[in-house]
Amino acid sequence: MKSFRIAIKGQPAKDIEAENLSGLEALQYLDVKGLDKVVAVRVNGGSQDLLAPVGTESELEPVFIESDDGLKILRHSTSHVLAMAVKALFPGVQVTIGPSIENGFYYDFDYERPFRDNDLPKIEENMKEIIKANLPFKREEMTSREAIDLFKSQGESYKVEIIDDLGEESVSVYTQGSFTDLCRGPHLPSTGRIKAFKLTHVAGAYWRGDEKKAMLSRIYGVAFADKKALKGHLNRLEEARKRDHVKLGKQLGIFSTYEEIGAGMIVWHPKGGMLRHLLEEFEIKEHLKRGYELVKGPLILKTELWEKSGHFENYRENMYFTEIDKQSYGIKPMNCLSHMLIYKSGIKSYRDLPKRYFELGLVHRHERSGVLRGLLRVREFTQDDAHIICTPEQLDGEIKGVLAFVKDVMEIFQFSYELEVSTKPEKSIGSDEDWNQATDALIKAMDDNDLEYQVNEGDGAFYGPKIDVKLRDALDRKWQCATIQCDFTLPERFDLSYIDKDGQKHRPVMIHRVILGALERFIGVLIEHYAGAFPVWISPVQAMILTVTDRNIPYGKKVLETLRGSDIRVEADFRNEKLGLKVREAQMQKIPYMLIIGDRESEKEGVTPRLRSGKNLPFMTEREFIDLINEDCRQRR
């Protein structure tokens, strides 16, 4: 018999005598409630399978299926069931990796043909049979040599490659029924604990994200703790399909892409051009009132400059290059180099700092064709880019100022958001001391403001750590837009300096930051966030004049002229069509106000507005309607 001293985290320990003690048995002894919803256990801070043994001195914490960690375990276990079903249905298929992701999971397969969406129903049926069988997930430790021999015998060359790359003496595998997979775990106790899942779609994916390697079939699915949560998510997915910005962008006349122009290049139609203009105008005003100065740099810069900055060494695979007069040039992927040269154009005193340079800068970055989609991932885009060059003493206040700027703007667009700190990547420039100082500055600014954040290890820019702002839209989806990067390295490389109070030269610090990020991406997010029904202040068309009969056209033209003269963005539909048709078409265009012009309006010289929701407003004068629009814009409704 062994003596075990066990405790629930934060509670007094209890002693027990037993031959062995699993996590489940320990939780039962400690009288944990709701054990039917516990799927794993944390033991002394580390997660393990519920049925795995615990040590003689153990602090325990149950992992409930509804928790974030519990859902990750559920989803990863479901991916193993997916792989088992695919292997049973498609002889000769090879399995690769199958992680959990937000709301679900995927698994990548190598098969003689790509999988198709119409393969999913029969795969789902097989998965349901596996779940019904309630097969236990069994963990086994084996040497890497043993694991390699096992997977070679199964023809699983991708698993062999993964084990070789790990370089570990031993690995763990999980088996349910006839299927064995390389995995660290933990997993559900058995397949029967999977209550609600759905396969959603199939996509292509390169092995290890390398376009020079095999193209695989990726099957995506979602899984939740219960059917109610799954149904809610599927409803949101259906709503997301209705809000798809590519579909709405075409319907609303905002943008197009053309094969003859090239992948990842956007053509803006008149309404899209107006929407961009309104956002750019908003951005300029917001920056100017916060002390930023407008600047503009060239689209191409000599390659030597990109070599000096470190972009050529660390970022050139994302850049385009050209040659002019036998001189190599890089098409800019970022705007920072020109801004540093502007700073260096004259001697700066500490009294001149901070300098806040703002540019709506057009940039180009090479993205793989497989990841391009609508406005969300493009090769040419405009950033609301700014670089703040300040003294080390000013750094804290400037970071906090940017965080406040982000907060103000996100509230205007009705976005909630989360913060994430990304630290030093493997591929980087600058000293560890500079990286530590920069990272500490970002974290301090958030801590001082009591802001919650996550740490994303190793995902910083090559020249400095960053705060990434993840927006949550109306469907609770996350989008990466704003970012704040702290940089001690490029000011050193470009020999930036200022004269301090002591009369000596000192090195400034630079903050790279965007608020909306890429305008293209942000507009794509806005389209889906608002389902194309933009607030009045950024609606490309704020009102549509609809005449009832041809005899109302003369007054309709007068209203059109009056509204345009008052800077209202208005269009007119004077066609000899039924009013109901005109109204439906205007509603399909998501126009905020429809102005019905009939005989009464013509005689009394007023308008009867109708909202895109279908609600009718009372008759009002032209001036009253102009004031209504202006108030909407002032309130940013």
Q: How far apart are CA 47 and CA 56, in angstroms?
A: 16
Active-site residue, selected from the candidate residues 87, 466, 521, 529: 466
Active-site residue, selected from the candidate residues 365, 513, 582, 610: 365
- Tell me if 321 sits within 8 A of 330, measured CB to CB: yes
H-helix segments, 418-495: 432-448, 489-493
Q: Is 393 helix (H, G, I), strand (E, B) or coil?
A: helix
Q: Is 40 helix (H, G, I), strand (E, B) or coil?
A: strand
The secondary structure of 295-361, three-state, reads CCCCCEEEHHHHHHHCHHHHHHHHCEEEEECCEEEEECCCCHHHHHHHHCCCCCEHHHCCEEEEEEE
Q: Tell me the torsion sign for CA atoms 161, 165, 168, 171.
A: negative
Active-site residue, selected from the candidate residues 383, 394, 485, 542: 383
Q: Tell me the torsion sign for CA atoms 222, 227, 232, 236.
A: positive
- Tell me if 256 sits within 8 A of 267, measured CB to CB: yes
Q: How far apart are CA 79 and CA 114, in angstroms?
A: 18
| Other Cβ atoms closer than 10 A to 588 | 12
**Known active-site residue 466:** yes
Q: Tell me the torsion sign for CA atoms 490, 496, 497, 498.
A: negative
Q: How far apart are CA 70 and CA 615, in angstroms?
A: 45
> How, if at all, do strands 293-294 and 355-364 pair?
parallel
**Known active-site residue 339:** no
Active-site residue, selected from the candidate residues 87, 311, 339, 512: 512
Active-site residue, selected from the candidate residues 385, 434, 468, 473: 385
Q: How far apart are CA 467 and CA 399, in angstroms?
A: 10
Using alpha carbons, list the distances in angstroms from residue 160 to 145, 153, 563.
Answer: 10, 10, 70
Q: How far apart are CA 267 and CA 256, in angstroms?
A: 5
Per the listing, tokens 């290049």 go with 265
**Known active-site residue 385:** yes
**Known active-site residue 584:** no
**Known active-site residue 365:** yes
**Known active-site residue 212:** no
Q: How far apart are CA 242 and CA 244, in angstroms?
A: 6
- Contact partners, residue 97, CB within 8 Å, separation at least 6: 107, 108, 158, 162
Q: How far apart are CA 133 and CA 164, in angstroms?
A: 34
- Tell me if 75 sits within 8 A of 101, measured CB to CB: yes
The 8-class DSSP code of residue 454 comes to E
Active-site residue, selected from the candidate residues 42, 287, 339, 387: 387
Active-site residue, selected from the candidate residues 336, 390, 481, 633: 336
**Known active-site residue 383:** yes
Torsion of CA 446, 450, 456, 460, to 10 degrees: -10
Q: Is 74 helix (H, G, I), strand (E, B) or coil?
A: helix
Using alpha carbons, list the distances in angstroms from residue 361 to 67, 199, 337, 367, 379.
Answer: 42, 41, 12, 18, 14
- Tell me if 137 sits within 8 A of 172, measured CB to CB: no
- Tell me if 172 sits within 8 A of 139, measured CB to CB: yes
CA 282-473-255 angle, to 5 degrees, is 60
**Sheet with 620-621: strands ordered across:** 570-573, 543-547, 593-597, 606-611, 620-621
Expressed in angstroms, the distance from the first to the final Cα of the chain is: 71
Nearest Cα neighbor of 629 from 526, 531, 559 is 559
Q: Which residues are catalytic?
A: 336, 365, 383, 385, 387, 466, 512
